[in-house]
Amino acid sequence: MTDLSITQLPAARLNVLEIWSNPLAVLDRFKKAFGPPLPPLGSSLQLLDRQLIRYEPTVWLVEGETTGLAEVLGSDGSLTAIGGGIVRVRLSGAGWRSLLMEGGVFDAESETFAAGCSAATVIDHVNVRLLVESDDACLAYVPLSYAHDMIHFWTVAAQSLV
Amino acid sequence: MTKYSALGLLRGVFNGQSHWQPAWRDPEPKANYDVVIIGGGGHGLATAYYLASVHGIRNVAVLEKGWIGGGNTGRNTTLVRSNYRQKPLHDFFEFGLKMWEHLSDELNYNVMFSPRGALMLGHSDADMTMLAQRGDAMRVDSIDAELLSRDQVAKLEPQLDMSRDARFPIEGGLIQRRGGTARHDAVAWGYARAADRLGVDIIQKCEVTGFVQQGDTVVGVETTRGRIGAGRTAICVAGHSGHVAAMAGLTLPVESQTLQALVTEGVKPMINGVIMSQSLHCYISQSDKGGIVMGGDPDNWPSYAQRGQPMVTEGAIAQAIALVPALSRLRMLRTWGGVTDMSFDGSPIIGTTPVPNLYLNGGWCYGGFKATPASGWTYAHTLATSTPHPLNAPFDLDRFRRGDTIDENGVGPMPNHR
Amino acid sequence: MSGPRRGDDCGSIRFTFDGKELLARPGDTLAAALLANGIGLVARSFKYHRPRGIMAAGVEEPNALVTVGTGGRSEPNTRATDVFVYDGMVARSQNRWPNLAFDVGSVLGLAAKTLPAGFYYKTFFGSAKRWMFYEWFIRRAAGLGDAPSEADPDRFSQRAAFCDVLVVGAGPAGLAAALAAAEAGESVILVEQDSLLTPSLVRDPQELGPAWAQATAVRIRALGGRILLRTTATGYWDDNLITLSERLAEPGEQPPNGTAQRLWHVRAKRVVLATGALERPLAFAHNDRPGVMLSHAVRTYVRRFGVVPGQRVVIATNNDDAYLTAIALRDAGAEVVAVLDTRPAPAGASSGFPVHNDTMPLATKGARHHLREVSARVDGKIVRWQADLLAMSGGFTPVVHLHMQAGGAALNWDEASQSFLPGAARQSVTSIGAAAAADPVGPTPSPENPGKAFIDFQNDVSLGDVDLAWAEGYRSVEHLKRYTTLGMATDQGKTSNMAALGRLAEKQGVAIPEAGLTTFRPPYTPVTMGLLAGRTERDAGAHLRRLALYEVHQAKVPIWQPLGYWKRPRAYPQGTETLAQAALREARGVRQAVGMTDVSTLAKFEVSGPHAAALLELICATTVAKLAVGRGRYTFMLREDGLVFDDGTVWRLGEDRYLLTSSTGGADRMATHISYVRQFLCPQFKVSAVNVQEHYAGIAVAGPQAKAVLAALIGDEPPRHMSTTSATIAGLPVIVLAASYSGERAFEIYVEASQAEPVWAACEAEVIAQGGCLYGMEAMEFLRIEKGHLVVGGEIDGRLTPHELALGGMLNKADGFVGAAGLTRPALTQPGRKQLVGLEALAGTIPEGAMLITAPGQPAEGHVTASGLRVLDGGSIALGQLNDGFARRGELLLASSTTRGQSARVRVVAPHFYDIGGERYRD
Amino acid sequence: MMLITCSHCGPRAQTEFTYERTVDSVVQPDADPAQAMEQLFTRANPRGLDDELWRHTFGCRAWLVMTRHRVTHQIEAIRAVGPEALP
């Protein structure tokens, strides 16, 4: 077994931020309020009290604080709480990339999938969202109902990695 | 034509089996036929045979673009059964099942119909109720069905995983004992030989490239071997119905998708009959040569490529091993794909079309093989009399627009939801 | 064959074959070890049970199939040439009884003349039962090895990989190609089915030997390349996806870390096929005898494994390569008594061996299942050689299987080598080395006796069978294959294909490429089913979905019920209660006091934005726009064909914020449907529709005391029926929906799933305090049937219109919702269609699923969709679908289940049995 | 298994996508009923190129219109559909 640990993290505050109109105006308001732009698809933005991860063309997953976002959105979008149904699992250690190739179809071994990158994919028939924390850790957002089996799957799969 | 018999084989001991003649001729196409059947699969050949034998229409050509039986006839998992839920399907498939029971003698060609039983497994009380409902519906329509307990299932197929903690535990099953398998190639060859004997021209390597129309009326076909005139023209090319019908300006309620099947290396008998499941989407049987033959869901996206994606078969195998764990160490020998006509209610289409003198037989989804005799019988009737047989009347082309769909699974018009 | 064929070093690895304890050297294949131990008879053929030995040294071996391993690891039909011996290996011969040397099944060989190709199509007539009688014997004679009877103890892994270049085959060409790519900065995966790199350099030592191979491999790895041994590329799919099967343990061997094999799905930007070539056998009478081997294979056994498979050798060839085998044998001390070369002189003249030109073997003879004599016609006279080994070579066929599987790929016929070479391809694939070119060969004369000249050894197909198929009109190559079973054996025709094509071309009087080609179907070599299933658990690839409150329920030891991929509590039995007893107690608890249940699995969508109502008006077939803030209503959804496919409730939580619930089983489909309407049909809408199915856990509280329970929980007046409010329970924010499925005053409490436990605990405490109980799905079913509420998959079966489900009154009068057009189809309003009815038993119990008939022997007019009982009063009631059912109230029918031997006389009634006026919903 | 280049995510395995329907089967909610049924119940189904609606279901969930060859499986064109989105 390689250097790898699989840890379920405590439930987090997660919201879906969706923009349904005037995205450029929202972007401007966001930059005015927070500084950097909203992250593009496949990446994330780490702020002090929150992280915005983009998995969909018009949707960002907001982990942490949401203050100020309603004002940024105005009438061009909305926030919807989603965190109750998502379990965060941290895959840490050098083997996380190999582990994600087990039962997967997304190229987690690619060097371009680096810290801050995000991807939504399917692993062992379950839709999973990934966020690279560092070279040594990746966060997986797993649907609550599948989390038990996914953690078990990763635990067993880790044993076959060499 | 040499009659097939055990004595004939014995005679061959003394002549090196040299007395056998070609099973069918290799004729040049004539200029005109009373009926031209497009497609030399089991259905087309059966249609030709019944046109000649039942309706006395012998001036018939079967046009096959490749080699007979080379399409879905030779690519299916050879299941024969009539365990449906709805009356039109009962009537049609049960009529066919009765024909299967005498088909080898009828054709003087052993099609190896082997009614070893078609078993559908239930994995919960809800499944068992659904199976009972299916069985009750069958029995009301005079079709054999028997509900089996766990113990009976375990005795029937000892290789099934009967453990209580299985992901899909087996609570019982519904068996149609008269269901089973047949040898797919033999069905095409047997019908071809019998039709040929009655004067039908089977013309291989003859692809239809267009229709000859006078006004709207179809009066013949253009082929790679020239123009052939036809009193009536019968499309019978399931998998490619849309493509052929389009040449006559018809668009159909059909989408072509790939259905994959696979066979393992041969092993000594381990599966007795046909195993299906109410909740899972795989079906398993064992051929006479010992290979485990199985299939699952279609690839669920349009394709004419006769090649599937590996994930689909991998999924079906995972299900099969969940039911029969001993399959794990067998090896998949071959996998292949067929092009199926996915109709928009899961039921076939046999009948007339809006184009005069053009007839259609298609839309068989993944269940055409078992229908071969009944399909040929009813299609021949429809062609001979210009009116559908009562058995295929419900399966007309117009039923979708009208709202008379025969939707066995109640999933509606999207084939990929089926 | 007698005595060991190896020097003093027999090796130290212990294994058994048919119970006999034997020794092997490290690196031996089972075939090499058997030959080394003087065992030539290894198997029986499929059809005639002819004695067979080892013919090849690789994956093309048609004959030497054995079962390796024991218990759940036993692998039947393992090629002895493709398994490496390990300590403790147990190998058994197969398809013989009682033993390999004396096999009763071999009588079939005596009857071979009555059993030509396709014989079974011509006999065994009569009824299906009669065929089944014969078939019983045929099935037992056929097959090969035995399947294991135990479950597989090992795991299999599935792994994805991406690379710039995938090189298949680590021969000299493949290795060099991999190195070049790696040095050019490309990411490389190199796979080799053998256990070592460049096995051909061991067979035919050259200047660049194994040391070069090792150094090259080190260099490739240093550049980041990945090299996988014991790994076979088995399938080539769309867009350069290649499946690899990697053996982490040998067949039957206990894997070191529990994983027996790994299936790779490799997506390569380009693929290099260095798959080499396979040697073709020659066809002559009795060419299948143990002791008749392929020339390459003989050389491999001599040079790689140190095994000399014979001492007096005849070589038969149509090419130069076999002379290398003659040299290897001579160097190893064997005597080459004759070289039969089909080519005219001076071919082979300078070799120093006794060469006979223009000569093919005529036949072989044997003794005790082994080669003893080879005969040939030399200058018109039959000459016989005593020999215990015949090494044959009919030339080489490049392995083009993967090239052809790539799709849209061409083959070019090469007359000189009598083989097909890979041509252009649609995908990015190139072939190199022996896979791309073959050496010229001489003629391959037809044998004098085609009947026993085998070309498909495993399936016992001879050239005579090909001739018979031709005579009977099976003339396309696919007909030939299917009629004779040629190429259908476990070796997939690797050694037989070209011989068959040659014979067919000869019959047709055309060149081989005009005779046609068979399809190269995946996999290249057979692949273990468990590997393809690829799962660590035997769960059919379907994870069980866990409720957020799973542990809470599990502590109460419920009876679980599967529902789609979910598992929900069906009942919570107390003491010795049966399911039915528990469910009835629970249902009565709800009717008489209060009950609570977990409804978390319901589909839920939060829809917000200025167009939220407009979106819901499209999806739902009921009106939504008029709903006041804080109110909710029942709704149902149509497919585009106008038939009902799901139902639920819709709630207006705020000015522009709605919650839509729908059925558990339809959740994924509803999510797709909503996404389709929103994203594709209405991209201009200002709306967000978020799937919150798993975000909220749901708890339903129902019963006359439900209001009191809620009041205590939220410390406020609970919402009126079909109203909603937000509240706090156990300090946590919740949404309360006053909705009822049971027919009692009821509430659904939605809380973030990760915080569900304290809310559940608070509810449970209050419910128990009010004299209530937990209830499961079975009680819920009783309650909803009595109330006449519908269930998706039961009454709502995707085949009925709203009108037929008695929902017509709620249908949106305006068009424009999905399905409105479908509803206009004329047949949907024709008489004779099914309509929802209630049924009450005159006596007895109505069987669920039973057919509704007027009398025994009459056709079905409908069926029972759900059967329950009057919860408080007893008496069997049911819901059903009945032809023209609305007009048949009062009619007496029989609900008949003949499969279960149950029936009940029933009266058709309205589909509501409880509180028809809705009094119990009023405060 | 195809490699589908999602307009948003780049090349991804087909496993992440679901085929939904052909573009010629799309029924607008306000379509004339007869025409709607004609569209719902017939398909061009060509043995060649056709426009199909796919969804990146297990990825970014976007809807994609693909022009794909039914025999070679080659994707000639692909474009995302849906609300206006930031790059």
A104-152 tens-digit pLDDT? 999 999 999 999 999 999 999 999 999 999 999 999 999 999 999 999 9
Contact between C123 and B6 using a beta-carbon 8 Å cutoff: yes
- Residues C182 and C167: their CA atoms lie apart, in Å, by 11
User: Is C106:C100 a contact under the CB 8 Å cutoff?
Assistant: no
Peptide bond into C26 cis (omega under 30): no
Select the residue of D9, D57, D86 nearest A27 (Cβ to Cβ).
Answer: D86
Q: Tell me, what's the pLDDT at A1?
A: 47
Report which of C167, B255, C428, C162 is spatially closest to residue D74, judged by C-alpha positions. Answer: C428
C-alpha triplet B24, B26, B30: angle, nearest 5°? 115
Quick one: DSSP state of residue A43? B
Contact between C681 and D29 using a beta-carbon 8 Å cutoff: yes
Say which amino acid occupies D63.
W
Q: Are residues B119 and B224 in the same domain?
A: no
Q: Are residues A34 and A78 in the same domain?
A: yes
Find the closest chain B residue to D15 by CA distance.
B311
Where is the domain boundary, B315, B340, B365?
Answer: B340
Query: How far, CA to CA in Å, does C103 sit from each of B150, C61, C91, C136?
Result: 38, 22, 18, 19
Residue D86 lies in a domain: no
Report which of C681, D5, A120, D2 is spatially closest to residue B301, judged by C-alpha positions. Answer: D2
User: Is A114:C516 a contact under the CB 8 Å cutoff?
Assistant: no
Select the residue of C140, C490, C643 nearest B265 (Cβ to Cβ).
Answer: C490
Q: Is C4 helix (H, G, I), strand (E, B) or coil?
A: coil
DSSP E strands: which ranges in C85-202?
89-92, 155-168, 188-191
Q: Tell me, what's the pLDDT at B416?
A: 86
Structure tokens at B409: 């699974």
- CATH of residue A105: 3.30.1360.120
Instruction: Characterize the bridge pairing of strands C231-237 and C241-247.
Output: antiparallel
- Rounded to the nearest 10 degrees, the angle between the axes of helix B184-197 and helix B372-385 is 30
> How many domains are there within chain B?
2
- Host domain of residue A20: 14-83
- CATH of residue B127: 3.30.9.10
Give contacts of D12 with chain B, Cβ < 8 Å: none
- Which residues are bridge partners to A81 per DSSP? A15
Helix (H), strand (E) at residue C480: helix C477-484
DSSP code per residue over C644-672:
EEEEEEEEEEETTEEEEEE-STTHHHHHH
User: Is D49:B302 a contact under the CB 8 Å cutoff?
Assistant: no
User: Is B245:D43 a contact under the CB 8 Å cutoff?
Assistant: no
Q: Are residues B295 and B410 in the same domain?
A: no
Where is the domain boundary, B340, B360, B382?
Answer: B340
Cβ contacts below 8 Å, chain A against chain C, sum to 119
Contact between C679 and D1 using a beta-carbon 8 Å cutoff: no
What are the residues whose beta carbons fall under 8 Å from the beta carbon of A29, sequence distance 6 or more?
A: A71, A72, A74
Contact between C820 and D33 using a beta-carbon 8 Å cutoff: yes
Structure tokens at B335: 């996998």
Select the residue of B251, B256, B302 nearest D42 (Cβ to Cβ).
Answer: B251
- Residues C583 and B9: their CA atoms lie apart, in Å, by 67
Select the residue of A20, A24, A120 nearest D60 (Cβ to Cβ).
Answer: A120
Q: Are residues B38 and B166 in the same domain?
A: no
- Residues C347 and C350: their CA atoms lie apart, in Å, by 8
User: Is B357:B290 a contact under the CB 8 Å cutoff?
Assistant: no
Peptide bond into C98 cis (omega under 30): yes
Select the residue of C157, C537, C695 nearest A102 (Cβ to Cβ).
Answer: C157
Query: b/e for C39-78, b at 16 or more Cβ within 10 A?
Result: bbbbbbbbbbbbbbbbbbbbbbbbbbbbbbbeebbbbbbb
Residue D31 lies in a domain: no
Q: Tell me, what's the pLDDT at B278?
A: 86
Q: How confident is the model at residue D29 (pLDDT cuts 50, 70, 90)?
A: confident
Torsion angles phi and psi, residue C528, rounded to 5: -55, 130
DSSP E strands: which ranges in C274-333?
277-279, 292-294, 312-317
C-alpha triplet A98, C428, D3: angle, nearest 5°? 50
- Residues B29 and A132: their CA atoms lie apart, in Å, by 68
What are the residues whose beta carbons fall under 8 Å from the beta carbon of C362, sequence distance 6 or more?
A: C284, C285, C375, C376, C377, C382, C447, C448
Cβ contacts below 8 Å, chain A against chain D, sum to 59
Residue C464 lies in a domain: yes
Per-residue pLDDT of chain B (418 residues; tens, 9 = 90+): 689 998 888 888 888 888 899 999 999 999 999 999 999 999 999 999 999 999 999 999 999 999 999 999 999 999 999 999 999 999 999 999 999 999 999 999 999 999 999 999 999 999 999 999 999 999 999 999 999 999 999 999 999 999 999 999 999 999 999 999 999 999 999 999 999 999 999 999 999 999 999 999 999 999 999 999 999 999 999 999 999 999 999 999 999 999 999 999 999 999 999 999 988 989 999 999 999 999 999 999 999 998 888 999 999 999 999 999 999 999 999 999 999 999 999 999 999 999 999 999 999 999 999 999 999 999 999 999 999 999 999 999 999 999 999 999 999 999 888 7
Q: Tell me, what's the pLDDT at C37?
A: 95
Burial of C311 (0-12, 13-18, 19+ CB in 10 A): middle
Give contacts of C695 with chain A, Cβ < 8 Å: 81-86
Say which amino acid occupies B133.
Q
- Host domain of residue D61: 3-26+36-81
- Host domain of residue C169: 157-279+396-443
Residue C52 lies in a domain: yes
User: Is B380:B404 a contact under the CB 8 Å cutoff?
Assistant: no
Q: Are residues A75 and A91 in the same domain?
A: no
Contact between C824 and D63 using a beta-carbon 8 Å cutoff: no
Q: Are residues B299 and B195 in the same domain?
A: no
> How many domains are there within chain D?
1
CB-based contact (8 Å) between D63 and chain C?
A: yes
Residue B6 lies in a domain: no
Distance from CA of C782 to the nearest CA of B (A): 14
Q: Are residues B170 and B305 in the same domain?
A: yes
What are the residues whose beta carbons fall under 8 Å from the beta carbon of B257, sequence distance 6 or more?
A: B298, B299, B300, B301, B302, B303, B339, B340, B342, B415, B416
Q: Are residues B166 and B205 in the same domain?
A: no
- Host domain of residue B70: 28-78+184-253+345-417
Residues 32-61, chain D: which have Cβ within 8 Å of A?
A: 57-61
Where is the domain boundary, C385, C408, C443?
Answer: C443
Q: Are residues A54 and A90 in the same domain?
A: no
Contact between C675 and D30 using a beta-carbon 8 Å cutoff: no
Where is the domain boundary, C692, C716, C748?
Answer: C692
Residue B145 lies in a domain: yes
Q: Is C247 helix (H, G, I), strand (E, B) or coil?
A: strand
Give contacts of B22 with chain C, Cβ < 8 Å: 471-473
Residue B5 lies in a domain: no
- Rounded to the nearest 10 degrees, the angle between the axes of helix C295-303 and helix C321-331 is 30
Q: Are residues B202 and B330 in the same domain?
A: no
Q: Are residues B60 and B74 in the same domain?
A: yes
Side-chain half-sphere exposure of C449, counting CA atoms within 13 A:
13
Select the residue of A27, A57, A122 nearest D16 (Cβ to Cβ).
Answer: A122
In angstroms and rounded to an integer, the radius of gyration of the C-alpha atoms of chain D is 14
Q: Is B25 helix (H, G, I), strand (E, B) or coil?
A: coil
Give contacts of B403 with chain C, Cβ < 8 Å: 641-642, 822, 825-828
Residue C344 lies in a domain: yes
Residue B172 lies in a domain: yes
Distance from CA of C468 to the nearest CA of B (A): 7
Query: For testing the chain A interface, which of D56, D58, D64 should be mutated: the one with the most A CBs within 10 Å?
Result: D58
Q: Are residues B268 and B408 in the same domain?
A: no
Residue B88 lies in a domain: no
- CATH of residue B55: 3.50.50.60
Contact between B265 and C122 using a beta-carbon 8 Å cutoff: no
- Residues C533 and B331: their CA atoms lie apart, in Å, by 11
Distance from CA of A150 to the nearest CA of D (A): 16
- Residues B133 and B138: their CA atoms lie apart, in Å, by 9
Contact between A84 and C155 using a beta-carbon 8 Å cutoff: no
- CATH of residue C163: 3.50.50.60
Residue D60 lies in a domain: yes
Residue C66 lies in a domain: yes
For chain C, list the contacting chains (3+ Cβ pairs, <8 Å).
A, B, D
Find the closest chain D residue to B301 by CA distance.
D19
> How many domains are there within chain C?
7
CB-based contact (8 Å) between B310 and chain D?
A: yes
- Residues D50 and B256: their CA atoms lie apart, in Å, by 12
Structure tokens at A152: 């078990």
Q: Are residues C718 and C583 in the same domain?
A: yes
Residue B7 lies in a domain: no
**Helices (H), ranges, B54-124:** 87-100, 103-107
Total length of chain C? 923
Distance from CA of C160 to the nearest CA of D (A): 10
Given a cut of 70, the residues of chain C with pLDDT beneath it are 1-4, 535-537
Q: Are residues B247 and B263 in the same domain?
A: no
Residue C593 lies in a domain: yes
C-alpha triplet C721, C722, C728: angle, nearest 5°? 85
Q: Are residues A77 and A93 in the same domain?
A: no
As a whole number of angstroms, the longest Cα–Cα distance in chain C is 113
In angstroms and rounded to an integer, the radius of gyration of the C-alpha atoms of chain B is 21
Contact between D30 and C817 using a beta-carbon 8 Å cutoff: no
- Residues C476 and C472: their CA atoms lie apart, in Å, by 12
Give contacts of D41 with chain B, Cβ < 8 Å: 253, 344, 400-401, 413
Q: Are residues C167 and C111 in the same domain?
A: no
Q: Are residues A42 and A79 in the same domain?
A: yes
Select the residue of B12, B110, B331 nearest C526 (Cβ to Cβ).
Answer: B331
Torsion angles phi and psi, residue D2, rounded to 5: -75, 160
Q: Are residues B375 and B333 in the same domain?
A: no
- Residues C321 and C295: their CA atoms lie apart, in Å, by 8
Q: Tell me, what's the pLDDT at B10?
A: 86
Contact between B267 and C521 using a beta-carbon 8 Å cutoff: no
Q: Are residues C614 and C597 in the same domain?
A: no
DSSP code per residue over C488-506:
-STTTTTTTHHHHHHHHHH
For chain B, list the contacting chains (3+ Cβ pairs, <8 Å).
C, D
Q: Tell me, what's the pLDDT at C128?
A: 86
- Residues C673 and C113: their CA atoms lie apart, in Å, by 64
In this prediction the ipTM stands at 0.97
Find the closest chain D residue to B249 by CA distance.
D44
Q: Is A79 helix (H, G, I), strand (E, B) or coil?
A: strand
Q: Is the dihedral of CA B27, B29, B33, B36 positive or negative?
A: positive
> How many domains are there within chain A?
2
Say which amino acid occupies B246.
A
Query: For testing the chain B interface, which of D43, D53, D57 should be mutated: the one with the most B CBs within 10 Å?
Result: D43
Query: How far, CA to CA in Å, does B115 sit from each of B78, B175, B368?
Result: 12, 11, 18
> What average pLDDT does chain D have?
96
- Residues B341 and D32: their CA atoms lie apart, in Å, by 28
**Helices (H), ranges, C509-634:** 512-515, 529-533, 550-554, 579-592, 612-619
- Residues C851 and C865: their CA atoms lie apart, in Å, by 10
Residue B224 lies in a domain: yes
Q: Are residues C564 and C701 in the same domain?
A: yes
Where is the domain boundary, B308, B340, B372?
Answer: B340
- CATH of residue D7: 3.30.2270.10
In this structure, the number of other CB atoms found within 10 A of the CB of residue B164 comes to: 8
Q: Are residues C84 and C97 in the same domain?
A: yes
CB-based contact (8 Å) between D19 and chain A?
A: no
B100-115 tens-digit pLDDT? 999 999 999 999 999 9
CB-based contact (8 Å) between B409 and chain C?
A: yes
Q: Are residues C389 and C417 in the same domain?
A: no
Residues 4-43, chain B: which have Cβ within 8 Å of D?
A: none
Select the residue of D30, D40, D55 nearest C640 (Cβ to Cβ).
Answer: D40
Contact between D22 and B300 using a beta-carbon 8 Å cutoff: no
Find the closest chain A residue to C547 by CA distance.
A145
B157-208 tens-digit pLDDT? 999 999 999 999 999 999 999 999 999 999 999 999 999 999 999 999 999 9
Residue C322 lies in a domain: yes
Give contacts of C259 with chain A, Cβ < 8 Å: 159-160
Select the residue of D16, D57, D60 nearest A57 (Cβ to Cβ).
Answer: D60
Q: Are residues A91 and A115 in the same domain?
A: yes
Q: Are residues C389 and C405 in the same domain?
A: no
Q: Tell me, what's the pLDDT at C44?
A: 94
